[in-house]
Amino acid sequence: MAWSDEQKQAFELNRLSWDERVEAHWESDMYRRHAADLRDGRPCLAEHIVRDVGDVAGKTLAHLQCHMGMETLSWALLGANVAGLDFSQPAIEKAELLRRELKLDAHFVCENVYNAPEALGRTFDIVFISVGAVCWLPDIDRWAQVVGSLLEPGGRLYMNEAHPFADVFDDHPDEPGIVVTYPYLDRGGLVFDSPGTYADLDAQFQHTKTVDHMHTIGSILNALICAGLVIDHFEESARCVWPRFKVMQQNGPDDWSLPGPVLNKLPNMYTLMAHKGG
């Protein structure tokens, strides 16, 4: 099925925004710290992710929407045979730069995630997806079909993603807290015009407009089930790896939470593990 002109424009708006953010991300404290981990021979992945995914040595792993490839290269460091895909050419160039510097084996491809099966041209033991990926995608059912077709029978999907429920909130300019602002159910693509970026809140950009497609937990689970995946584990967490709201308090590197009365009371992220049925 072809994309509508509106959907094509949304991809283009988002791609321009991501392309422009790459340099600021590369120079940001957060990604410098992740690159430094890799240079020191440590994966820049949270411990729970490494533990949940388990031994990847000798396994094939596709990382969808891999950005500058730091997590992809972490899996390579842990012995996986990895491919990373992202539609931002500058992001893929940074991934390649780091891959060459670290002398790691990884295959990076610049392509829209919906074209991943053709662009990667093979199937994998593991598909890995991490924070900030599915909100950019207009069609969650089609995305799940992509995931399904990339997996070997019995192959596993691991997602550590931003929880869509928290997307109902926004910072309020006049109130010292977050306020219910957006719908959770029945929400199509929303255009946002936001300054800065999660890795550098003060950075200035020309391309500030993006189209964000929030997908409910139910729609993600159903899409994966319809694509032939069996859900093995689903877990929600209050922890957040970036300052999603201005009111968040920082507890440590890549560790933020909502303060005060809502501390540990609202989901910010989720982990989903599934496998492709035989």
Ligand X SMILES: C[S@@+](CC[C@H](N)C(=O)[O-])C[C@H]1O[C@@H](n2cnc3c(N)ncnc32)[C@H](O)[C@@H]1O
Starting at the earlier edge strand, list the strands of the sheet with 229-237: 106-110, 81-86, 60-64, 124-130, 151-162, 269-276, 229-237
Nearer to ligand X, 3 or 165 (CB): 3
Nearer to ligand X, 86 or 167 (CB): 86
Is 206 in contact with 200 (CB distance < 8 Å)?
Answer: no
**Piece of the chain touching ligand X by CB under 6 A; list 73-81, 127-135, 209-217, 221-229:** 127-135
Alpha carbons 44 and 50: distance in angstroms, whole number = 10
Alpha carbons 162 and 124: distance in angstroms, whole number = 24
Min dist CB 65 to ligand X, Å, is 3
Q: Does 38 bind ligand X (CB under 6 A)?
A: no
**Piece of the chain touching ligand X by CB under 6 A; list 10-18, 49-57, 184-192, 200-208:** 10-18
Q: Which of 18, 128, 169, 256 binds ligand X (CB under 6 A)?
A: 18
Nearer to ligand X, 75 or 87 (CB): 87
Q: Does 45 bind ligand X (CB under 6 A)?
A: no
Alpha carbons 256 and 66: distance in angstroms, whole number = 22
Amino acid identity of residue 132, one-letter, is G
Q: Does 86 bind ligand X (CB under 6 A)?
A: yes
Alpha carbon of 103 to those of 27, 41, 76, 90: distances in Å? 21, 11, 10, 20
Alpha carbons 93 and 35: distance in angstroms, whole number = 15
**Piece of the chain touching ligand X by CB under 6 A; list 46-54, 80-88, 205-213, 247-255:** 80-88
Sign of CA dihedral 137, 142, 148, 149: negative
Min dist CB 131 to ligand X, Å, is 5
Nearer to ligand X, 8 or 259 (CB): 8
- In sequence order, the 6+-apart residues with CB closer than 8 A to the CB of 155 are 123, 124, 125, 126, 127, 275, 276
Residue 139: enclosing H or E segment and its boundaries?
Answer: none
Q: Does 67 bind ligand X (CB under 6 A)?
A: yes
**Piece of the chain touching ligand X by CB under 6 A; list 47-55, 83-91, 117-125, 179-187:** 83-91
By beta carbon distance, the residue nearest ligand X is 132
Interface positions with ligand X (CB under 6 A):
11, 14, 18, 65, 67, 70-71, 86-88, 91, 112-113, 130-133, 136-137
